[in-house]
Amino acid sequence: MKKALFVILLLAVFAAAFPVFAAGEKVGVAMPTNSLQRWNQDGQNMKAQLEKAGYEVILEYANNDVAAQISQIENMLLNDVQVLVVASIDGGALGEVLRTANDVGVPVIAYDRLITGTEYVDYYTSFDNYRVGAFQGEYIVKALDLENAEGPFNIEYFGGSPDDNNAHLFYQGAIDALQPYIDAGKLVNPSGQIDFETVAILGWGSDDAQARMDNLINSYYSDGTKLDVVLSPNDSLAIGIVNSLISAGFKEDNWPVVTGQDCDIPNVINIVKGLQSMSIFKDTRTLAERTVTMVAQILAGEEVEVNNTEDYDNGVKVVPSFLCDPVFADKDNYKELLVDTGYYTEDQIKVE
């Protein structure tokens, strides 16, 4: 490790003294995993758009292994990348390697997941993640007609991985949208499990979400108590929740509202089938395009365009951010959003 850092620093000194030998425009892209469709698409969209803009790209996936991601970033620095784009596994674990990036003059863009606990992150690009959760909460309000219905309706809550800063934003946005109806007694929570630490699923695991949903059903709904809605922050959790509901024998006449995020292919198919109610659509092409623009502005020495300089405090600094707008897909608009725009083909989301 020390030897690698010494080499990096030596290369930086050499490049500064002899700029004619400096590396070309090379961008490092560190993604958390290729085991989820969403991150595959992010990585490939980013690589394609950066290469189209004329940059050389080093793209790495870390299989949700923090140590592997740190090693990959170190290797990118050794390979003379001029900008780092990092979708972190653990947003608080990259301080030292990003300090090294700063020491050799490599700017860092946090991609979709805010990097926390360090001053060595320059920009953040993502969707408005609080708004993502608010959309999910607002969808539940409309689906149950909470403005007019007396209720009460039974709801269970799921949260994302606690080491992902976005998970906290998703959850807070949803709870804030639902809070008036919780306070009015229209939404009740039979399990009493509502605080984020209790409902969070480490690593966003589908199997863990399924296991927790199994326990909730067995403990609170096996006597015939109606389950009206499950707040799921993303599609990987929603898959586990839906599998649990199917295994427990839920049918169309007692199927709850289930939310999600990412519009993964299996989840869109479940939306068509009526097994998932909605999913937030965060068009990775849009996010990749914005990030490529940010990279180009950095490398050209231009002012980097941001639209939020107040809300994304990583514990050390407020990170200048550009937030894209999310939308949601359901059975009424999924074709318009996903097929007509070329994001998916009809065959990809065809129900067998």
Residue 18 lies in domain: 2-121+283-325
pLDDT at 233: 98
Confidence of residue 349 (pLDDT cuts 50, 70, 90): very high
* 154 pLDDT higher than 80: yes
Confidence of residue 37 (pLDDT cuts 50, 70, 90): confident
Strand order in the sheet with 26-31: 56-61, 26-31, 83-86, 108-111, 123-127, 321-324
* 20 pLDDT higher than 50: no
pLDDT at 109: 98
SS3 per-residue string spanning the chain:
CHHHHHHHHHHHHHHHHCHHHCCCCEEEEEECCCCCHHHHHHHHHHHHHHHHCCCEEEEEECCCCHHHHHHHHHHHHHCCCCEEEECCCCCCCCHHHHHHHHHCCCCEEEECCCCCCCCCCCEEEEECHHHHHHHHHHHHHHHCCCCCCCCCEEEEECECCCCCHHHHHHHHHHHHHHHHHHHCCCEECCCCCCCHHHHECHHHCHHHHHHHHHHHHHHHHCCCCCCCEEECCCHHHHHHHHHHHHHCCCCHHHCCEECCECCCHHHHHHHHHCCCCEEEECCHHHHHHHHHHHHHHHHCCCCCCCCECCCCECCCCECCEEEECCEEEECCCHHHHHHCCCCCCCHHHCCC
Confidence of residue 18 (pLDDT cuts 50, 70, 90): very low
Q: Under a CB-based contact definition with an 8 Å cutoff, are residues 249 and 287 in contact?
A: no
Give the Cβ contact number of residue 96 at 10 Å.
13
- What is the Cα 81 distance to its own chain's centre? 25
Note the pTM of the prediction, 2 decimals.
Answer: 0.79
* 60 pLDDT higher than 80: yes
Confidence of residue 147 (pLDDT cuts 50, 70, 90): very high
**For residue 228, what are the CA distances in angstroms to 184, 189, 237, 323?**
17, 10, 17, 32
pLDDT at 13: 45
Same structural domain, 17 and 133: no
Same structural domain, 317 and 274: no
From the list 29, 54, 63, the residue with the least C-alpha distance to 43 is 29
From the list 291, 271, 290, the residue with the least C-alpha distance to 335 is 271
Number of domains in the chain: 2
* 6 pLDDT higher than 60: no
Same structural domain, 146 and 258: yes
Same structural domain, 274 and 302: no
* 30 pLDDT higher than 90: yes
Q: Which residues contact 325 (CB under 8 A, 6 or more apart)?
A: 127, 128, 131
pLDDT at 335: 96
Mean pLDDT of the chain: 92
* 198 pLDDT higher than 90: yes
Same structural domain, 81 and 164: no
From the list 93, 129, 34, the residue with the least C-alpha distance to 321 is 129
Instruction: Give the span between the Cα atoms of 278 and 330, in whole angstroms.
Output: 5
Instruction: Return the CATH number at 176.
Output: 3.40.50.2300
Mean pLDDT of 165-169: 92
**For residue 244, what are the CA distances in angstroms to 213, 217, 298?**
6, 9, 47
Confidence of residue 41 (pLDDT cuts 50, 70, 90): confident
Mean pLDDT of 119-143: 96
Comparing 4-18, 149-163, 265-279, 325-339, which segment has the lowest mean pLDDT?
Answer: 4-18
Same structural domain, 260 and 311: no
* 137 pLDDT higher than 50: yes
pLDDT tens digits along 282-317? 888 899 999 999 999 999 999 999 999 998 999 999
**For residue 186, what are the CA distances in angstroms to 27, 57, 64, 213, 284?**
51, 52, 39, 22, 36
* 173 pLDDT higher than 80: yes
Same structural domain, 12 and 149: no
Same structural domain, 293 and 239: no
pLDDT at 306: 97
Q: Under a CB-based contact definition with an 8 Å cutoff, are residues 293 and 305 in contact?
A: yes
Same structural domain, 55 and 151: no
pLDDT at 3: 52
* 12 pLDDT higher than 60: no
Same structural domain, 90 and 235: no
Instruction: Give the span between the Cα atoms of 149 and 132, in whole angstroms.
Output: 25
Same structural domain, 236 and 113: no
Same structural domain, 225 and 300: no
Residue type, 159: G
Confidence of residue 38 (pLDDT cuts 50, 70, 90): confident
